[in-house]
Amino acid sequence: MKVVVVGAGMGGLVAALLLAQAGAEVTVLEAAERPGGKLHQVAVGGALIDGGPTVFTMRGVFDGIFAAVGTSLEAHVRLEKLDVLARHAWQDGSQLDLFAEPARNVDAVAAFAGGAAARGYADFARRARQIFELLDHSFMRVPQPGLFGLMRRAGPGVASISPFDSLMDELGKYFSDPRLRQLFGRYATYCGSSPYEAPATLMLIAHAEAMGVWAIEGGMYALAKVFCELAQARGAKFVFGARVKNVLVSGGKVAGVATEAENFAADAVVANADFSSIDAGYLGPEAQRALFGMMKGAKKSLSAVTWAMTGTAEGFPLAHHNVFFAPDYKAEFDELRGGKVPERPTVYVCAPQGKGEFFCLVNAPANGAAVDETVTANMLSQLQRCGLRLQAGAVVRTDPAAWEQRFAGTGGALYGRALAGWKDSFARPGAKTKLPGFYLAGGGVHPGPGLPMAATSGRIAAQCVLTRR
């Protein structure tokens, strides 16, 4: 069986590995010169700094994939479990760490905001775990489950997870302190969405982090290299610098793909490409027709402005993951909704310890627009108001215009479809399309964005291909 995988992002890499393991003849076509997709490194002042995903969670997803091909995660990457999941700071000087040990979080919240807040946190953590456990096997790992499929698998428990409430409204039931609502509301941005619009089910991300956050020696990009090497060892062929122009069809089903240079015959095609780019016709009219109507009513997720930099940091004790919150969270998302990068943004800083290397990120609208140095000045000023003086050396900045250039047709949206209401969780396309033999993988399709979810999408796509065979 011949399979072409279009795109070597995490979903495509996992699909290629599992299909090659099953004996398929796999060819991966990637427009870039190396694997990874959004999982990539940026060369800055002699250093290589992760310029995409920086948080490694839900390790069990990856353990399962490695086990399926007869090896283990530890055999290929060196992991360090972080004691501090993330450090959070505000302009008033307050600071709150969340820890890998749940009991410490109750104590930390009590010291931060009082006993009532600590009890609210304990209730919130239990609810987040309940939502995660209910949706993990009944929704996230199931191909194209749909609302009725979820209700059938999960039973009456679905009613207990507040599927119709917004995340921020639900957080108000647990936390009166606006800083805590801000902290846990931020999980919506992991899906490129606003906490004022996204469904309360995203509370499950809190539990996903509570199960552990790891740092990877050599950076997150080590994962992309390992998956590529494992797939190649099982016979998968990778062709880089190969931009697919058309999905080929014969007899009403997939027959292969065409690049600028040559055609590749295939019995099945797995497209690990941004859904909106396929919908815009970047993989040709046949692929576009296969997705007809699936983008109806979709709102693009957030984009970002990022900075990969070398330099020095003073005045604030940085952990590996740090968040410096805006003074007015509602105003920040109002600006984003209005198409502006916030003047006083929430800033995420990844700071691998002892390296003098930093990755900073602020949310931005997915309008494909370039930004000027005002955005950099605003970001650094916000950090300084929270106590961190970041002195940059070499810097590489990436804005929505650069993301659009890298991922055409997206406007710079980094997470696919935004979750602007409860229905959007079920509106993401699954692996199967209207064209027999044409499948989808990646963070823009079910079960959603983030490395574990993208990896899961690749596994689902591989299962669908093999089942069809």
Tens-place pLDDT, residues 289-300:
998 877 777 889
- Note the pLDDT of residue 189: 97
- Note the pLDDT of residue 140: 66
Is the model's pLDDT at 214 over the cut of 60? Answer: yes
CB atoms within 10 A of CB 350: 23
Is the model's pLDDT at 148 over the cut of 60? Answer: no
What is the C-alpha separation between 395 and 154, in angstroms, rounded? Answer: 48
The mean pLDDT of 340-344, rounded to a whole number, is 97
Would you tell me the crossing angle of helices 221-233 and 10-21 to the nearest 10 degrees? Answer: 20
Mean predicted lDDT score pLDDT of the chain: 93
**What amino acid is encoded at 298 in this protein?**
A
Is the model's pLDDT at 159 over the cut of 60? Answer: no
What is the C-alpha separation between 36 and 306, in angstroms, rounded? Answer: 17
**Residue bearing the bigger pLDDT, 250 or 448:** 250
Pairing of strands 41-44, 47-50: antiparallel
- Note the pLDDT of residue 101: 85
The mean pLDDT of 409-435, rounded to a whole number, is 85
**Residue bearing the bigger pLDDT, 102 or 53:** 53
Is the model's pLDDT at 215 over the cut of 60? Answer: yes
> Taking Cα atoms as reference points, which of 93, 129, 8, 54 lies closest to residue 360?
54
Share of the chain above pLDDT 90, in %: 83
The answer to whether the CB of 254 falls within 8 A of the CB of 267 is yes
The mean pLDDT of 81-101, rounded to a whole number, is 96
Chain CA centroid to CA 409, Å: 18
Confidence of residue 426 (pLDDT cuts 50, 70, 90): confident
Helix/strand/coil for 138: helix
**Of all helices (H) and strands (E), which one includes residue 467?**
helix 451-468
What is the C-alpha separation between 362 and 459, in angstroms, rounded? Answer: 31
Confidence of residue 361 (pLDDT cuts 50, 70, 90): very high
Is the model's pLDDT at 468 over the cut of 90? Answer: no
Where helices occur in 145-254 by DSSP H, the ranges are: 146-154, 167-171, 178-185, 204-210, 221-233
**Of all helices (H) and strands (E), which one includes residue 381?**
helix 373-385
- Note the pLDDT of residue 162: 56
- Note the pLDDT of residue 152: 52
**What amino acid is encoded at 394 in this protein?**
A
Confidence of residue 419 (pLDDT cuts 50, 70, 90): confident
**Residue bearing the bigger pLDDT, 160 or 405:** 405
CB atoms within 10 A of CB 288: 15
What is the C-alpha separation between 268 and 438, in angstroms, rounded? Answer: 6
The mean pLDDT of 156-167, rounded to a whole number, is 65
Confidence of residue 26 (pLDDT cuts 50, 70, 90): very high
- Note the pLDDT of residue 275: 86
- Note the pLDDT of residue 161: 55
**Residue bearing the bigger pLDDT, 148 or 116:** 116
What is the C-alpha separation between 319 and 84, in angstroms, rounded? Answer: 7
Alpha-carbon distances, residue 380 vs 41, 191, 195, 373 (angstroms): 22, 25, 24, 11
Q: What is the pLDDT of residues 378-405, one digit of tens each?
A: 999 999 999 999 999 999 999 999 999 9
Pairing of strands 84-89, 321-324: parallel
